């Protein structure tokens, strides 16, 4: 797979998240996906995302920068949202916060098999 | 510049940091470099790094994952070190902490012109 092809798949994955098209998630995420060192599998991955949207009703994933170097993708995702209560252990309580997630993905069989994600918690703290 | 060529320059930049070869830093970092939205310039960048080594004498940059998609590079840097006193506002006080930095770079004229870095502060907190 070429870099541009993999980037295209990644953009479709982000569109899947933003439309909360959960039945399609398995087209992009591997059955045995590992997230930050924990093998949560596709069902655990879906639960995590469903939980994120429950906690943050106005959640939206915006790609600010995208690198594709097969079999890896890296992106800076930017968020501007109002977590209802708590997020990352911070009592946000409906206030608006803007922050970035710097995240790396390894693809296998055309699907996301491993994710290494860091959210800019320090930036969020500075806004509260 | 090709992806492999840019990756090679990046590896040389990391070697420059690990040997604290500050007179060579300008070979890798642009005069007007922007770090997390602030234009600190080469001198400010050098000061930041010198300060990091003063605060963390056993600091070492290890590349865990490297993507090169010109003009961008993204890497996961892993650290295993003992900050002497405080780091990211946390009272580490000489304890050993392991954490990652997920960092993106934009190159211009063969040098790092912009950096978007997030350090995994939550992982560090969990160890203290």
Q: Where are the beta strands (DSSP E) in A1-128?
A: 29-35, 38-39, 62-69, 72-81, 86-87, 90-91, 97-108, 111-119
pLDDT tens digit string along A52-71? Answer: 999 999 999 999 999 999 99
Place of tokens 């190159």: B107
Label residue A3 by pLDDT band (50, 70, 90).
very high
Mutation for B interface: A105, A120, A123, A125, most B CBs within 10 A: A120
Label residue A88 by pLDDT band (50, 70, 90).
confident
Quick check: A74 contacting B, CB < 8 Å?
yes
- Say how many Å lie between the first and final Cα of chain B, rounded: 43
pLDDT tens digit string along B25-34? Answer: 999 999 999 9
ipTM of the complex: 0.96
DSSP string, B30-60: EEEEEETTEE-HHHHHHHHHHHHHHH-TT--
pLDDT the model gives residue A58: 97
pLDDT tens digit string along A20-53? Answer: 999 999 999 999 999 999 999 999 999 999 999 9
The first and second tokens of residue B40, run together, are 């600190």
Non-local CB neighbours of B113 within 8 Å, separated by 6+ positions = B30, B32, B33, B34, B106, B107
d(CA B54, CA A120): 24
Taking an 8 Å cut-off on Cβ atoms, the answer to whether A65 and B116 are in contact is: yes
Quick check: B122 contacting A, CB < 8 Å?
yes
Quick check: B101 contacting A, CB < 8 Å?
yes
Mutation for B interface: A35, A121, A123, most B CBs within 10 A: A121
Taking an 8 Å cut-off on Cβ atoms, the answer to whether A69 and B65 are in contact is: no
Q: What percent of chain A has pLDDT over 90?
A: 95
Quick check: A89 contacting B, CB < 8 Å?
yes
d(CA A48, CA A40): 9
pLDDT tens digit string along B46-105? Answer: 999 999 999 999 999 999 999 999 999 999 999 999 999 999 889 999 999 999 999 999
- Paired strand residues for B111: B108
Mutation for B interface: A88, A102, A103, most B CBs within 10 A: A102
B35 contacts in chain A (CB < 8 Å)? none
Non-local CB neighbours of B66 within 8 Å, separated by 6+ positions = B7, B10, B11, B73, B74, B75
Among candidates A76, A118, A120 on the partner chain, residue whose Cβ is nearest the Cβ of B100: A118
Quick check: B126 contacting A, CB < 8 Å?
no
Q: How many contacts does A have with B, using Cβ atoms within 8 A?
A: 64
Half-sphere CA count of B111, side-chain side, radius 13 A: 16
Among candidates B72, B88, B101 on the partner chain, residue whose Cβ is nearest the Cβ of A67: B72
Taking an 8 Å cut-off on Cβ atoms, the answer to whether A118 and B101 are in contact is: yes
Tell me the shortest Cα–Cα distance from A23 to chain B, in angstroms.
30
Q: Of A107, A119, A111, nearest to A24 (Cα)?
A: A111
Among candidates B69, B119, B122 on the partner chain, residue whose Cβ is nearest the Cβ of A88: B122
What global pTM score does this model have?
0.96
Residue range A73-80: mean pLDDT, rounded: 98
């Amino acid at each position: 797979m070429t870099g541009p092809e993999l980037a295209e798949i990644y953009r479709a994955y982000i569109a899947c998240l933003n439309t909360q098209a959960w039945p399609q998630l398995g087209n992009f995420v591997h059955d045995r996906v590992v997230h930050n060192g924990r093998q949560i599998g596709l069902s655990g991955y879906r639960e995590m995302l469903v939980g994120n949207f429950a906690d943050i009703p106005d959640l939206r994933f915006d790609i600010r920068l995208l690198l594709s170097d097969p079999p890896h993708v890296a992106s800076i995702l930017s968020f501007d949202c109002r977590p209802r209560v708590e997020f990352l252990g911070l009592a946000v309580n409906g206030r608006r916060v803007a922050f970035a997630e710097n995240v790396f993905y390894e693809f296998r069989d055309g699907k996301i098999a491993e994710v290494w994600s860091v959210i800019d918690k320090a930036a969020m703290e500075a806004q509260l």
